[in-house]
Amino acid sequence: MKTNILYTLFGLSLGFVLAFGAQSYLNSEVTAEDIQHASNIIGLKFTAAEKDSMIEELQSSRESYQTLRDLELDNSVPPALNFNPIPAGKTFDKTEQPENWNIPKDVSLPNDRSELAFYSIKELASLIKQQKISSVELTKFFLDRIEEHGDTLEAIVTVTKEIALEQARKMDRELDNGNYRGPLHAIPYGLKDLFAVEGYKTTWGAEPYKNQTIDETATVAKKLKEAGAVLVAKTTLGALAYGDVWFGGKTKNPWDLKQGSSGSSAGSAAGTSAGLFPFSIGTETLGSIVSPSNRTGTTGLRPTFGRVSRHGAMALSWSMDKVGPITRSVEDAAMVFNAIYGPDNKDQTVVDLPFNYHSDVDLSNLKIGYVKSAFKNDYYNRGRDSLTLAKLRDLGAELTPIELPDYPTNALRFLLTAEGAAAFDQLTLSNRDDQMVRQGKNAWPNLFRAARFIPAVEYIQANRARQVLIQKMDSVMQKVDVYICPTYGADNLLLTNLTGHPSVVLPNGFDEDGHPTSITFMGKLFDEGTLLGVAQKYQQATNFHTKHPAMFTE
C-alpha cells in the first residue's frame, strides 16, 4: 500500500516496477499520507500543516509532469542549460601553432601483408602518401580482417562496406590528382554505434533500438570524412553506453576471450587492439574510454568536456558525455583528435580553442605531479605504476606529490542517472526497457526508474556543489601542468569526469596472466597538447604499446 501511495504522488503506478510499465496516475488525489511516505524517500520531514498546504501545489505539478511526458522529447534534444567546466575567471591561450606530423618516406610495404594490421597511422599514412598501397587495397585489407575476426570478438554491429569502398576510391582519385588531405587520408576506422551515419542503422547497442535509423550523420563522422578517413565499421557498445553487453552478445577482450572487453566503448577498443582497424572513436561519460582501453591495452584519449561535438551522438548525460579516439599509440591519438576537435555550430557546449600538440616536450621544463596517496595504497597494479613513476624520473621529470580535492564527490554521481533517466524517459514510460538484455539492480532499467525519485532541488544543489568542486580542482591544477594517477586510483575517474578534465590512459605493462595494465595521465582543461606530449615521451621510452594479442597477429 505504501508503494502504491508513493507512485500516486509521483504520477506513476505500482506496475511501473512490477511489470506493467509507467502509467498515468492522475485521477487519484494526493493526500498528506502520500507526502509523508514520499518525504521519507528523500530524507525530509514536514509538519501536518505543511503537508496539508502542499497538496494543491503537488497536484498541479503532477499535471505539468504528465504534460511534459506527453511531449515525447527525442533523445537528440538537449536541455536549455549547458554545463560549463571552465572555472570563474579562467582564460586560455588562443594562439594556434602550425603542426607538422612528419610523415616518414621510408616505410616499406611488408612482405607479409598481415603485419599491416598493427602499423601505426603514421606508417600507413606514409604508404598511402607514397602510393605504395592504394586506399582501396588498404580498405579491403581491413574489411577482410573484420570478416575474419569480427564474430570472434563480437565487436562489430554493422560493416559499412559500401561507403568504405566508395570513400576509398575517392581518396585514390584525389591522390592521383595531387590532393593529399593529411595523415588520415585513406586510413580506415571504426565508429561506436551510438553515432548516427545516414543510410545505416544506429542501434545504441540496445534491443529496443536495434532497427533504428537516424537520417543524419554525426559531426565526428563528417569531420573524419573531411580528413580523408574511411569508415569501415560501426562498433559495439554496452547497451545505452553501459558495459560490454549489447543486444547481440558480449564483446570480448582480444587478450583473453574469456573476458569481456569492458565498456562502454567495447567494440572500438577491442577492434583497435585486435587490428580490425587502425583507430576508432569512442565516448566517455564515466569511464567508457578509460575502462576498455585499460582492458585491451589500447591508448584512449578522453578530451576536455566541450572539445568535440556530440551532434548526432546518443545522449546519456548532457553534462558529462565526451567524444575521443581509441588508438594504439599516443601519437595516433593526437592525429585523430586533431581532425575531430572544434565547434560545428550544432553542439553549443563546444569551445573554440586551438590544439597545439607538443611532441618534443621537455619533461624537465614542466611541473608534473602524481597523486601521492593513491600510489601508496596496496592495489592490483601498484608495482607497475611505481615503475612508471621511476621511468618518468629517468626521462628528466621532477615529480611533485599532489592530492585531489577532499570533497564528497561520490554524492554527485546521481547527476549521471538523473540525466540518463531524462534522456531515456520514453524508454521507461513505454515499458520497452523490459527488452533490455541486462535487468539487474545496477542495470539501466532499474537505475532509470529509481532516478524518477531524485528531487529537482537536489539535482540543482548537486550542480552547485559541482561548481565548488571545479574551483577546488582548478586550485590543484594551478600547481602542475600534468599529473599521473593509477587508472582507478583515488577518486580520479569520477572527479575528473565531473570537472571535465582531459585524460590519456595507456598501457604500462602486463600482469601475471598476460593481461594489459595501464596508467593514467591527466591534463589541464583544453590542454590536450601538453598532456599528449608528456604521455608520448613516456610511451616512446617503453614498448608495451607495440605488443599485440597473439591470437590476432597470426
pLDDT per position as a tens digit, 146-200: 999 999 999 999 999 999 999 999 999 999 999 999 999 999 999 999 999 999 9
- In this prediction, residue 27 carries a pLDDT of 73
The share of the chain scoring above pLDDT 90, in percent, equals 93
pLDDT, mean of residues 288-306:
98
Q: Is the pLDDT of residue 2 over 90?
A: no
Alpha helices in 154-215 (DSSP H): 161-176
User: 602518401: which residue's cell?
Assistant: 129
pLDDT, mean of residues 391-396:
98
Q: Which residues contact 527 (CB under 8 A, 6 or more apart)?
A: 304, 481, 502
Residue 97, in any domain of the structure: no
Q: Is the pLDDT of residue 10 over 70?
A: no
Q: Which residue has the higher pLDDT, 99 or 207?
A: 207
Q: Is the pLDDT of residue 70 over 80?
A: yes
pLDDT, mean of residues 75-95:
95
d(CA 405, CA 421): 29
- In this prediction, residue 21 carries a pLDDT of 45
Please state, as a whole number, how many other Cβ atoms lie within 10 Å of the Cβ of residue 251. 33
- In this prediction, residue 16 carries a pLDDT of 38
pLDDT, mean of residues 315-327:
98
Q: What's the pTM value of the predicted model, to 2 decimals?
A: 0.94
Looking at every residue in the chain, the average pLDDT score rounds to: 94
- Tell me which residue of 271, 181, 161, 278 sits closest to 225, measured CA to CA: 181
Residue 135, in any domain of the structure: yes
pLDDT, mean of residues 352-361:
94
Q: Is the pLDDT of residue 76 over 50?
A: yes
pLDDT, mean of residues 385-409:
98
- In this prediction, residue 6 carries a pLDDT of 45
Count, residues in the chain: 554
Q: Is the pLDDT of residue 17 over 80?
A: no
pLDDT, mean of residues 515-520:
98
pLDDT, mean of residues 331-346:
98
- Tell me which residue of 195, 191, 212, 194 sits closest to 204, measured CA to CA: 194
- In this prediction, residue 15 carries a pLDDT of 36
d(CA 232, CA 168): 10
Residue 22, in any domain of the structure: no
Q: Is the pLDDT of residue 349 over 90?
A: yes
**What single letter denotes the amino acid at residue 262?**
S
d(CA 393, CA 364): 9
pLDDT tens-digit series, residues 30-51: 999 999 999 999 999 999 999 9
Confidence category of residue 24, pLDDT binned at 50, 70, 90: low
Q: Is the pLDDT of residue 1 over 90?
A: no
d(CA 517, CA 505): 10
- Domain of 293 in residue numbering reads as 114-407+464-552
Q: What domain count does the chain have?
A: 1
Q: Is the pLDDT of residue 23 over 60?
A: no
Query: Which CATH number covers residue 216?
Result: 3.90.1300.10
d(CA 497, CA 495): 6
Residue 94, in any domain of the structure: no
Q: Is the pLDDT of residue 57 over 70?
A: yes
Residue 203, in any domain of the structure: yes
Report helix, strand or coil for 143.
Answer: helix
Residue 108, in any domain of the structure: no
pLDDT, mean of residues 350-354:
98
Report helix, strand or coil for 234.
Answer: strand
pLDDT tens-digit series, residues 251-261: 999 999 999 99
Q: What is the DSSP string of 466-492?
A: HHHHHHHHHHHHTT-SEEEEETT-TTH
pLDDT tens-digit series, residues 470-481: 999 999 999 999
Residue 496, in any domain of the structure: yes
* Helices (runs of H) and strands (runs of E) counted in the chain: 19, 15
**Quick check: 491 and 403 in contact, CB under 8 A?**
no
- In this prediction, residue 26 carries a pLDDT of 65
- In this prediction, residue 8 carries a pLDDT of 45
Q: Is the pLDDT of residue 99 over 90?
A: no
Residue 508, in any domain of the structure: yes
Confidence category of residue 28, pLDDT binned at 50, 70, 90: confident
- In this prediction, residue 25 carries a pLDDT of 61
Q: Is the dihedral of CA 322, 323, 326, 329 positive or negative?
A: negative
